Structure 1
């Protein structure tokens, strides 16, 4: 999945997360995480971000996460939405998964 522009998804409401994604140069993803629960769940947040990026074959990007205590499934959905908005892909990420199930 090629990222061609900046995009974001989510809100700053309690129990939600704002995810911003942008193209980046360099050998690795640049993950910037600000979370009200970072001490407890920072490693899990980072792991979820990297898993989703790897799953969709995203080249190095900058991901800025402003977490307000979102569940893992919410973080996953917000990142997928930001990826879809930032890419040239005409197929939604969840449609790709559904095609693999059939």
Structure 2
């Protein structure tokens, strides 16, 4: 999926995650910034989930900011999917 605009999903609430995604110049690759309340315990697992979700949707050339407040895996995946679909115009009725 090609990311064509900025989009976000989620919130700063406890047990949630805020995902911000935006396109970057073609050939740049993925720039991923992770800030998590549980980074020490689950940082590697969170990064794996992010990479697998991006791979599943064939998303490249993006800047992704991931601000986690202790979200479980299914919430992380849902927020990533929503942000990706909003940013690729696959989902209508969004904030951006």
TM-score, length basis structure 1: 0.83
Deviation per CA, 1:36-55, whole angstroms, max 9, x where unpaired? 10011111111001000001
Runs of 4+ in structure 1 deviating by more than 4 angstroms, as ranges, are none
Q: Cα deviation per residue 1:43-76 (whole Å; 9 max; x = unaligned)?
A: 1111001000001111221110110000011000
* Alpha-carbon separation, structure 1, partners of 2:83 and 2:72: 17
Name stretches of at least 5 consecutive residues in structure 1 with no aligned partner: 92-102
Alignment of 1:48 with 2:49, yes or no, is yes
Alpha-carbon distance in 2 for matches of 1:72, 1:60 = 24
Q: 1:59 is paired with a residue of what secondary structure?
A: coil
CA RMSD of aligned residues (A): 1.5
Please say if residues 2 and 88 of structure 1, whose CA atoms lie closer than 8 Å, have aligned partners that are also in contact.
no
Number of equivalent positions:
91
Partner of 1:6: 6
Aligned residues of 1:32 and 1:64 also touching (Cα < 8 A): yes
User: Is the CA contact 1:6–1:21 (under 8 Å) kept in the aligned structure 2?
Assistant: yes
Is 1:62–2:43 an aligned residue pair?
no
Q: Which moved more, 1:82-91 or 1:30-39?
A: 82-91
Gaps spanning 5+ residues in structure 2: where? none
Structure 1 segment 1-102 matched on structure 2, within 5 A: 1-25=1-25, 26-89=27-90
